[in-house]
Each structure stands twice: as structure tokens, then as C-alpha cells.
């Protein structure tokens, strides 16, 4: 497979943000999944600070039973605790991994920060082995920065 043109995909996402549709975050998830071949499940988890857990927001892909994740648990919870992107090229190598399905081979989770505080995250599962590069990291961090104001804190 050829690498996606992240510049073009980012322009599409900017267009969605500028149009500000009612289902903006779901449209962003849909665009990411549709335009990047190795993004097989794309979702947003939002921090519920009172309960110290992540709550699943808009997502595209196979339904998941993981709608609430404790901060610190699994890859998503670890990113919530650290506020730093986590790339896992082989999920079988992570002790604290929360499995969403046998087909998931790798995952990238990017924090969404507002005023330096963690408020949400972009979670992407891939059915491909080790597909994530520094390009994915840079691109998804740009998307996180672009959409941070869509979340209340």
C-alpha cells in the first residue's frame, strides 16, 4: 500500500472543522478511517475528571465494549495519565493492553491537550502489523490541536 497523503487528509479535516457541522467529531473520525488505509477503528475518548475515567465519544468501526476506561488502564488510560502519545506496533507485547478484538495488531493514541491539561484523546486501532510512522504521529497531533476547542473542560 502507498502511504496516505496526510496533507490532503488534514485539509479535509480542516474543512470539516471550518464548516462546523453538528456531528463534527464523528465526521472527523469517519474521514480518518476512510482516508488512511491502516486506520481500522477511530474513536475519541473524553476525560471524566470526576470519575477519573475515559468515556467513549464518537467512533467509527466495530462496536466496542470498552466505553469506560480507568485512567492508567490499557494504552488509552496510560495516555490519559501521561499526556503523551503512545504508539504500539504490536499489541501482544503490552502487558496492560485492553483487547478490542483479535484482528487488532497495533494502536496509536494521541492526547488532546487544552492549556497543557489532558481533556481527551484520539484512539486508532489497526489490523496491520507495525503500520505507524512518525508521519502518523505528527499528523494526528496536528488533528488533536485542531479539534481541542471542540471539548469542554
Q: What is the pLDDT of residues 70-80, one digit of tens each?
A: 999 999 999 99
* Residue 153 predicted with pLDDT over 70: no
Q: What's the pLDDT score for residue 137? A: 97
Domain spanning 6-150 has what CATH number? 3.30.450.40
102-136 tens-digit pLDDT: 789 999 999 999 999 999 999 999 999 999 999 99
**3 state SS for the chain:** CCCCCHHHHHHHHHHHHHHCCCCHHHHHHHHHHHHCCCCCEEEEEEEECCCCEEEEEEEECCCCCCCEEECCCHHHHHHHHHCCCEEECCHHHCCCCCCCCCCCCEEEEEEEEECCEEEEEEEEEECCCCCCCHHHHHHHHHHHHHHHHHCCC
Q: What's the pLDDT score for residue 36? A: 97
Amino acid at each position: 500500500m502507498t502511504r496516505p497523503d496526510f496533507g490532503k487528509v488534514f485539509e479535509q479535516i480542516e474543512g470539516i472543522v471550518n464548516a462546523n457541522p453538528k456531528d463534527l467529531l464523528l465526521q472527523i473520525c469517519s474521514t480518518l478511517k476512510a482516508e488512511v488505509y491502516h486506520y481500522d477503528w477511530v474513536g475519541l475518548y473524553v476525560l471524566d475528571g470526576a470519575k477519573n475515567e475515559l468515556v467513549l465519544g464518537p467512533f467509527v468501526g466495530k462496536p466496542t465494549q470498552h466505553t469506560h476506561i480507568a485512567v492508567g488502564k490499557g494504552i488509552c488510560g496510560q495516555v490519559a495519565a501521561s499526556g503523551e502519545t503512545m504508539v504500539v506496533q504490536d499489541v501482544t507485547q503490552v502487558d496492560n493492553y485492553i483487547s478490542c478484538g483479535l484482528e487488532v495488531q497495533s494502536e496509536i493514541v494521541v492526547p488532546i491537550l487544552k492549556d497543557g491539561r489532558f481533556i481527551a484523546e484520539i484512539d486508532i486501532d489497526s489490523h496491520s502489523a507495525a503500520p505507524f510512522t512518525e508521519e502518523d504521529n505528527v499528523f494526528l497531533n496536528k488533528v488533536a490541536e485542531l479539534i481541542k476547542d471542540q471539548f469542554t473542560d
